[in-house]
Structure 1
Amino acid sequence: MSYDPSGNAFDFHGSSYVALTPNLRKLGGEVEWDNATKSATVTLNGKTATVRMAEESVTVDGVQQPLSGPSLVKDDVLYVPASFFRDVFGQSI
């Protein structure tokens, strides 16, 4: 695994991972962290998704769908596969 200490991106098992919060906010979305459930609830383009730490799926508007890899935490930052933004919100980063 190679890691970018700036928090931007890193490679994990051949997939690109990006920090969830700063990238979502750049797109105009909002993020709320729930420490009790270790999950982030994110909203963008009228959709709401819940990303749980270390899970390989995401709940989008109440429907569970797979991620291309698990969400990961590195240095207290939640990362998701870069494809998350395209697959869930139809956005490229």
Structure 2
Amino acid sequence: MSDFIAKPIIERSNYLVGLFELDADVAAERYAILDRVTMKLIWQGSIKPGVTVTHLVRKSYAIDGVIVLMIDDNETFNAVVADGVRLPLVNSNDIEIGY
């Protein structure tokens, strides 16, 4: 079940937005995206095996960077954290997200 703090970008516009894509480790079962500046949760959810997690986020997150956290539910492996991840800026009309 996905849960988000930041409102997802659904409307199409000609403004640039950040594209978050996560091709997760096969052992990872959940992920979280944090705003690097405020440390607030942007989005969290489950990872389906073989599926790339994709979200459109505000331009400021793309420019300032985000923190990505991946964990496995059975605690076999340590959490994986990627700090300062910069996201590409894209036109939302050119991307198909599925939500």
TM-score between both structures, scaled by the size of structure 2: 0.29
* Structure with the higher fraction of residues in strand conformation: 1
* Structure with the higher fraction of residues in helix conformation: 1
TM-score between both structures, scaled by the size of structure 1: 0.30
